[in-house]
Structure formats: structure tokens, C-alpha cells
Homo-oligomer: A and B are copies of this chain.
């Protein structure tokens, strides 16, 4: 079910060794490879098939040998520690956690329709769910000598962030990197994994083979693939993506050349989100149908569960509550989306007219989606969680 890799023109091409990919993926960019899951299958199963999981690569996919693979751990005032993949797998308890990953740029296309934004014009399907298996970062760090205090700091209270560096490199040989707050990394309820399996199989190359970070509840950019080093530090990752890319600004700050982002916090948790998957945009509904089944997903970051999804076929004048299907995850550890479905009666006079179907979700913190993308518009086109029409 996978197509051959795209032919390459040049052996020195950093993209010469990209993996084969499923032909049904909706490709946004080939180099680096960015592709959405086909929307129509997204709401069918709580777990997205691995080869149809959306893919967001920042750089070429590295070729890595899992037989001779080490993860390096660095912390202030201590010698560097290297743990082999085999050691990681054998030493620590394994956890399997259903986690939804969502690109912070999911639904940028709709935001860009308000005003031009930077970045890949993702539709609604830069989001997928897999069961990730791995060891807990918390356990690994404890083994590396980190003493975890009751308030989720470590012995060196000046350590505030955990950096993840990938093996993927840009033309200047700089690697992809990102960081998360130390409290998330050390939280026993945070479920941050070093994952080596996705849906019960070894990771595929596109999803971080042989090992990646999984940071549930955060934008997927923090779940660094092809994990090379883990570094405990006072500040955030110095990488371009942490410092500059994944940040949002006021709607009136529309000139990236003059924005001072030094004091703008880097995005971490995702806001409440939902989208319609079925029927597809512009799909024709038979005039003789008396009812219509609508399906989609809803998700909130930070482990917050979805408590309600409302669906309208008249653009938000009247609403009907959808049925939710979810993994059995407790409220503050709801790392995976809920799928939803609702069957609505169609107005008898609907033939030939257009239905304005829309949805909106509420999470267990009472957060609701903004009505429109106007007020949350930002020049990077990030975190569009407006009502989906």
C-alpha cells in the first residue's frame, strides 16, 4: 500500500533518501515532506492508520541505524550520559498511550483566507491519533540522576526547560530542536514518552525511527522525531523553531520584519479545536434525503477532555449536540481526540440550497472555540481553532 519514493535528481540531494509514502496522503510540500491525512477517513477510527497519519517534517528524513543508536542526556554540572536504544527499551517500564498530534498550523488555509499568512496551507487534517509506546522521560531522567522535587523541579532549580534535538539537519548542518517546560517533562501525570512504537509497530522513518519524543497535549512541533540529545537547561531551546517560528501575535502585528518576538512565549499546549470531516467541503447532499449524518473530530490540549460538540446546519442559528466517541482517558490526561457524529433532519425545502454546516467544541475547562478566524488571525497562521464551517 505504499508508493515508491519520489525519484531524486542528485545523489547529494539531502532529500535523496526519503521513505516511500502512501499515495492517498494529501501532499502539501514534498521537500520537506508535509502531508495531510485524507479527511474522509480521519473521523472513521479513533486510531489513524500509521501510513495515513499526517506527516509534518521540518527537514529531510535522516537515515538512522537502530542497531547502534544512542540517546545523549546533558545536564549542568554532570557528565554527559549516553543510553543505547536497547538499554532504554530494556531498563524502563513501557507505556502505551493514545495521543493526538496536531500541527500548530492545522487549519491555516482558513486563516489565510482572512489575510495572507506565512506557512504551509494546511486544511483541517494536519491532525492524527496513534497509540505510542515507549518509556517515560521522567523515569529516564531519574535514572540519569535527576532528583524530582514535589513541585516538579529538579535539584538545580535554575533548570526550567528540557530540550530535544533531532538528527534531522538543515543545509548548514543545524539540527531541528524544540523544548518543553521541566514541569511537563517531570510530571507523573504528564505522560511524556520516548517512543519507539506507533500503533504496535516500530516507528516508521517519517514518524521518527527509531525513537522520538511524544509530548501529549502540546503542539506536535515539541514531539521531536529522530531523537539525538536531551538537554536540561535554564532557557528554552535556541532553535529557530522554538525562538521564532511557533509563536502567535496580535492580529494587528502583520509585518514579521518588525515584530520583536523575544518576549513572546513559545506555543506549548493546544487550545480547544474541532472540525467536520464528513460530509466533505462542497459535497452535494441528495435533495431526497430526509437526514444527514455529519462526522468529525474534537480535541483540546493539556490533557483537557472534550465535554460537548455542537453541530449546526444553518450556520450557527440552531445547534444539535453530537455523540462523542473517546478513548477511556481521565479528564486531565485526555491526550487523544474525541470523534463525534450526529444525524440531523434536513429541511424539506433544502433542495438546491446550500447548507451552512458548522461545528464547535467545549473542553472540560469550559473553553469554547472563537466564532471566526478574524480575531485570532496571526501572521504565522497558527492555532486556528475557530468554528469550522
Interface residue ranges, A against B (CB under 8 Å): 150-152, 181, 183, 188-189, 248-253, 264-265, 267-272, 301-302, 307-308, 310, 316, 318-321, 330-332, 360, 362, 364-372, 374-376, 383, 385, 387
Contact = CB atoms under 8 A, between A and B. Distances in A.
Nearest to A138: B150
Contacts of A251: 310, 319
A254 B91 CA distance: 56
A269 B310 contact: no
B265 A364 contact: yes
A375 B369 CA distance: 9
Contacts of A302: 302, 365
Contact of A319 (B252, B272, B365): B252
A150 B269 CA distance: 23
Contact of A367 (B183, B272, B332): B272
Contacts of A371: 370-372, 374-375
Nearest to A270: B366
A175 to B, nearest CB: 26
Nearest to A365: B269
A135 to B, nearest CB: 15
Contact of A375 (B150, B267, B272, B316): B316
Contacts of A365: 268-271, 301-302, 367
Main SS class of interface, A: loop
A321 B259 CA distance: 12
The 9 A-B residue pairs whose C-beta atoms are closest, nearest first, are A269-B365, A371-B371, A271-B366, A271-B367, A150-B188, A367-B367, A252-B319, A366-B383, A250-B321
A265 B264 CA distance: 34
How many copies of the polypeptide does the oligomer hold? 2
A310 B362 contact: no
Given A150-B188, A249-B308, A252-B318, 17 more contacts: A151-B189, A181-B332, A183-B330, A248-B362, A250-B310, A252-B321, A253-B321, A264-B307, A265-B331, A268-B364, A269-B364, A269-B365, A271-B366, A272-B367, A301-B365, A301-B366, A360-B375
A245 B320 CA distance: 22
A180 to B, nearest CB: 11
Contacts of A330: 183
A227 to B, nearest CB: 24
Contact of A152 (B189, B252, B370, B374): B189
Contacts of A367: 271-272, 365, 367
A181 B364 CA distance: 12
Contacts of A387: 375
Nearest to A369: B370
A46 to B, nearest CB: 20
Interface core residue of A320, A332, A367, A371 (most chain B CB under 10 Å):
A367
Contacts of A308: 248-250
6 contacts: A150-B188, A252-B310, A267-B366, A271-B367, A302-B302, A370-B371
B250 A151 contact: no
Contacts of A270: 365-366
Residue from A269, A270, A301, A308 with most neighbouring chain B CB atoms (10 Å): A269
A383 B272 CA distance: 15
Contact of A151 (B188, B368, B372): B188
